[in-house]
Amino acid sequence: MKPGILIAIIAVLVVAVVVIIIIGTSKEPTTTPGTEIKPLEETQLAEITEDIKGISGKVIAIGKDTITVEALIMMKDTTQAPIKHNVKITADASTSITRLTFPSPEKIMGSTDPIIPKEETLKLNELRIGDTVDVRADNNIYDSIKAGTPFVASTINAIAYE
């Protein structure tokens, strides 16, 4: 094989590898389907309560200053089961984040003593996927849930059992 053809083949391979590397690293991070935040459907909006100051559910994603929770949204008619909906929550400097650890039910069975959980102050990145959380806000978060946009939490309590 002639040296000129060999150099041309190597140059084409080098350019192809560089293009593949650039394309592969230039993609923006994507949201996995399980953590995608969508607005509620109109039929669901008509049924959920319009005064929402908090949600409870399971943490399904953790970001730098946000968590995504698979939340239970209460209905106007409290005899209906709540609906599950992914909700994104932002924590700022004023957000109180704690882990409340309760004694296991076996330990308190038959006891008349008050149940006092152990309380541990956390940072957002100390929460774990799968944690059950109770999230509260100072304002009504109905519009955030309706639009699928994050709201700022005033408190986030992770609930755990010994």
Query: What is the token pair recorded at 60?
Result: 């399904």
Q: Are strands 132-136 and 54-62 parallel, antiparallel or unpaired?
A: antiparallel
- 110-147 burial code (b ≥16 CB/10 A, e <16): eeeeeeebeeeeeebeebeeebebebbbeeebbebbbe
Instruction: Give the residue extent of every domain in the chain.
Output: 33-161
- Going residue by residue through the chain (162 aa), what tens digit of pLDDT does each one get? 566 665 656 655 555 555 555 555 444 333 344 456 777 777 777 788 889 999 999 999 999 999 999 999 888 888 888 889 999 999 999 999 999 999 988 888 888 888 889 999 999 999 999 999 999 999 999 999 888 899 999 999 999 988
pTM of the prediction?
Answer: 0.72
